[in-house]
Copies of this chain bind each other. A is one copy, B any other.
Amino acid sequence: MHPKHSASAPWEKAASHPAESKYLLTRLPNTFAKAFIPPLIKAIIPNLNNRSKNTMPLKIAQIGSDGHQNMVLDGIAHIPGAQLIACAKGHPDDTLAKVKAHAAFTAHTRLYDDHRHMLDTEEIDLVSICRPYSLNAEASIAAANRGIDIVSEKPVATTLKDLDALEKAVKNSGIRLTAMFGLRLSPAFRAAHQAVQDGLIGEPILATAQKSYRFGTRPDFFKQRETYGGTIPWVAIHAVDYTRWTTGREYTQVAALHGNLAHPDYPGCEDHGGMLFRLSNGGTAMINLDYLLPSTAPTHGDDRLRIAGSEGVIEVIDDRTHLIRSGAEPRDLPLPLEENFLVNLHGERTGTAPHIIGPDEAIKVTRLCLQAREAADTGNVLTL
């Protein structure tokens, strides 16, 4: 960790054993952790609840505005003490207009042309990074090397080389990296995840998932692989993530296809594709992706997931979670409340509940997508 920041980050000072309180939660199975860890922490660290961690300052910075920066910005108002202390351009032409227009941006938010200058100047607890996708890894590595926790737009890197460098920087610094896998927090996907964890469909055997986007207007950096990264890592990554997370099974093999047939001005932006994964239990997962939803489509995303298991089928479609299970009438499951990403992450920081994305998962899922992209580029079946 960068000495300055490791010493001065206020939330780290608050706990007797910051590393334990921060990471212990997420190394254990979710259900176990949810039930037993908060009381455990209270027992081990008696002072924890005597401190007002929820009202301590949480100094947040934003780099860039090409992504889902609102996932972090929207949460600031819900965390007492949280502030957007600074923001930096993601690239020289970045106006940061969307950040400046957000309520989290105040008269006290300092503006920087250069993110490295910002990282060196400000005392930052957590940085949100939303640059053109190929540039995110560089900023994350810079933040990690300075001991700053990171919320990165996904993919956290667009090449395996950058990903390896980022993984190393994260490991060396011990910072917390998470990625904007926003759909994990959607009520419908959380309900599906919980249903599978609770055994309602038995062993998950066949999963099928869909991402379907309108093309609309896309920035120029979408035109080249080098700057965009590809549609598997940018769009399908959500489904690669939520299918793995919901089934609770790893992918062991992938075959994939992708291409661009309808958007010739954007040759680096595949407008369709598909992935066929073997699951670690011998099952199958398939994910399809496209940018072919017409402008009149009632939805953007059209996120779907269906998991057929040994004892039932669960399906997320049209923001509902439907369960068909032997011995019971088919039914929609009750959905949990909407939850903000930053608030969820803050829960881990204050020791109340693990963050929904485990410590290694931002790197892991990005690597899976870069490997699937390679499978599609080469036509080979890859072992994962």
> Residues of A with Cβ closer than 8 Å to B?
202-203, 205-206, 208, 210, 212, 253, 255-259, 261-262, 271-276, 278, 281-286, 288-290, 292-298, 308-313, 324-330, 379-381
Contact = CB atoms under 8 A, between A and B. Distances in A.
Contacts of A206: 272-274, 288-290, 292
A29 to B, nearest CB: 22
A178 B255 CA distance: 33
Contacts of A286: 274, 276, 286, 288
A382 to B, nearest CB: 11
A245 to B, nearest CB: 19
Given A203-B261, A255-B276, A257-B278, 13 more contacts: A205-B271, A206-B272, A206-B273, A206-B289, A206-B292, A212-B313, A255-B255, A255-B381, A274-B285, A294-B324, A295-B326, A297-B313, A381-B381
A324 B300 CA distance: 13
A259 B283 contact: yes
14 contacts: A205-B292, A206-B274, A208-B210, A212-B313, A253-B379, A256-B276, A261-B281, A272-B308, A274-B286, A276-B286, A286-B288, A293-B324, A294-B326, A296-B326
B261 A283 contact: yes
Q: Specify the main secondary structure of chain A where it touches its partner.
A: strand
B281 A297 contact: no
Nearest to A278: B257
B294 A311 contact: yes
Nearest to A212: B308
Contacts of A310: 261-262, 292
A285 to B, nearest CB: 8
Given A255-B381, A274-B206, A298 B261 contact: no
B330 A297 contact: yes
Contacts of A295: 326-327
Nearest to A312: B294
Q: Select the residue from A212, A290, A292, A311 with max chain B CB neighbours within 10 A.
A: A292
A368 to B, nearest CB: 16
Nearest first, the 3 A-B pairs at minimum CB distance are: A255-B255, A292-B308, A262-B310
Nearest to A282: B259
Contacts of A290: 205-206, 308
A258 B274 contact: no
Given A293-B313, A312-B294, A329-B296, A205 B272 contact: yes
A373 to B, nearest CB: 14
A272 B283 contact: yes
A239 to B, nearest CB: 12
A289 B273 CA distance: 19
Given A259-B283, A276-B276, A308 B293 contact: yes
A247 to B, nearest CB: 13
Contacts of A255: 255, 276, 381
Contacts of A210: 208
A256 B381 CA distance: 10
A354 to B, nearest CB: 30
A54 B298 CA distance: 49
A8 B125 CA distance: 91
Q: Select the residue from A203, A283, A329 with max chain B CB neighbours within 10 A.
A: A283
